[in-house]
Amino acid sequence: MTAAAAATAAGRPFAGSRRLSLSWTGLVPFFIYTALFLFLPTAIILVGSLTDKDGSFTLVNFGPDGIAQSYLLRTLLASLQISAVSGLVGAVAGALLAYAVATGNPRGVLRRTVTSASGVLAQFGGVTLAFAFIATIGPASFIYETMKDRGIDFYANGVWLYELSGITLIYLYFQIPLMVIVFLPAVDGIRPQWREATESLGGNTWHYWRYVAGPLLTPSFLGCALLLFANSFSAYATAAALITQAGPIVPLQISNLLTSETGRAQPGLAKALAFAMIVVVLVVMSLYTLLQRRTSNWLR
């Protein structure tokens, strides 16, 4: 339907005074489509979380019987924890890698390889990533078996790979490349002249990092770390493929509610969770945008 409308709008010839109204039809398909598949779902979430079964306004879904229930709050905490840890570790590791790349030959093979690989690996997620790690250090993996034969059984206290700590580790696999991609421009923006100027003015390496490079890179670093946080917070597929229990992180909780009896009894709950997720990510992304804007002034 949308394609056909676009085609007719494109093919219609212009006739003098009807020009303006005809122009508008060129935009209609896009707006109809986004209204139906972007704004409508969002509206459904918003409205659904704020109404009860009879359609009247209610805040029940946000209260102690809604998302403030203890098990859901625990889930939220777990999500925030994983996001914070994978965000921070990913940010630091990614920043180090970005620095190692930026200090090399800008046209060299190494740099091109790392940036392309980062582009690929930041893609690599979800089910395939979960299975990759299962193949690597899962209970049936070569590494685990070999280590066990040598006397080191790292699953002695349970298979942590399938729990929250496992998820955090696995998330690093796409967090670090993402950090490289978004932080590298900032590191590239550090000019060698600033280092040399610091030296000529009597400063050493510590002075340089403390007063020049550090302050210059901090806003971008923080912004990118926030980005990684939002990224981790929103991730679903990897955990879904790994964890078979009820739902220790928010995305899994949502999927649980969508497919279970509890969910059908409280339709507003899943929507309220979704709403909460959207708010969190929105706040984080706004901060990210603000920090990046500051950086672009300095490190063009």
Partner 1 sequence: MTGSHGSEATRAGVEVRLEDLRRTYGTTTALDGLTLTLAPGELVALLGPSGCGKTTALRLLAGLEEANGGRVIIAGKDVTNVPANRRDIGMVFQAYSLFPHMTASQNVEFGLQLHRVDQDERRRRAREVLDLVGLAAHANKFAHQMSGGQQQRVALARALAIRPKVLLLDEPLSALDAKVRGRLRDEIRRVQLEVGITTLFVTHDQEEALAIADRVGVMQAGRLEQLGPPTEIYSRPTTPFVAEFVGLSNRMPGEVKFGGVEVRGTQLPLVQKDVPAGPAVALVRPEAVTIAGDGESASGPLVGTVIAVAFLGAVSRVTVDLGDITVLAQLPTSAAADHPAGSRVRLALRPDPVLVETKEATTASA
Partner 2 sequence: MSSARRFRLQVFRIAVFVVMGLFFLVPIGSMFEFSTRGNSATAPRNLDAWLNIVKTPELSEAIIASLELAVITTLAMLVLVLPTMVWVRLRFSGLSRVIEFICLIPLTVPAIALVVGMVPIYRWININVNDSILTLAFAYLILVLPYAYRALDAGLSAIDLKTLSEAARSLGAGWATVMLRVVMPNMSTAILNASLLSVALVLGEYTFANLLAYENLQVAIAYVGLVDAGTSIAVAVASLLFAFVLLLILSYLGRRQAPFAQAGAADYDLAQTVGLSGGVIGRAGR
Asked if 156 contacts 183 with a C-beta cutoff of 8 angstroms, the reply is no
Which of 16, 202 has the CB closer to partner 1? Answer: 202
Identify the residue whose tokens are 């923006």. 189
Residue 211 binds partner 1 (CB under 8 A): yes
Instruction: Give the tokens for residue 91.
Output: 């940010």
Is 120 an interacting residue with respect to partner 1 (CB under 8 A)?
no
53, 194, 264, 289: which one binds partner 1 (CB under 8 A) = 194
Task: Find the binder of partner 1 among 70, 157, 244, 297 (CB under 8 A).
Answer: 297
**Closer CB to partner 2, 26 or 203, in the complex:** 26
**Structure-block tokens of residue 298:** 């300095």
If one asks whether residue 157 binds partner 1 (CB under 8 A), the answer comes out as no
Enter the DSSP assignment of 161: G
CB 119 within 8 A of CB 181: yes
Specify the stretch interacting with partner 2 by CB under 8 A; choose among 59-67, 80-88, 103-111, 147-155. Answer: 103-111
Q: Cβ of 223: how many Cβ atoms within 10 Å?
A: 25
93 counts as binding partner 1 under rule CB under 8 A:
no
Applying the rule CB under 8 A, the residues between 191 and 250 that interact with partner 2 are 205, 227, 230-231, 233-238, 240-241
* Residue 101: strand, helix, or coil: helix
Q: Closest CB to partner 1 among 47 and 212?
A: 212
CA 67, 71, 73, 77 torsion: positive or negative? negative
Q: Which of 84, 88, 93, 213 binds partner 2 (CB under 8 A)?
A: 93
- Are the CB atoms for 221 and 91 separated by under 8 Å? yes
Other Cβ atoms less than 10 A from the Cβ of 7: the count is 11
Q: Which stretch binds partner 2 (CB under 8 A): 51-59, 66-74, 82-90, 282-290?
A: 282-290
Q: Output the six-digit token pair for 43.
A: 């509206």
Rg (CA), the chain: 25
Tell me the closest approach of the beta carbon of residue 99 to partner 1, in angstroms.
Answer: 18
The region of 10-18, 55-63, 69-77, 82-90 touching partner 2 under the rule CB under 8 A is: 10-18
- Site residues for partner 2, 34-63, by CB under 8 A, read 34, 36-38, 40-45, 48
Asked if residue 114 lies in contact with residue 170, where contact means CB atoms within 8 angstroms, the answer is no
Binding site for partner 1 (CB under 8 A): 191, 193-194, 196-204, 207, 211-212, 215-216, 297-300
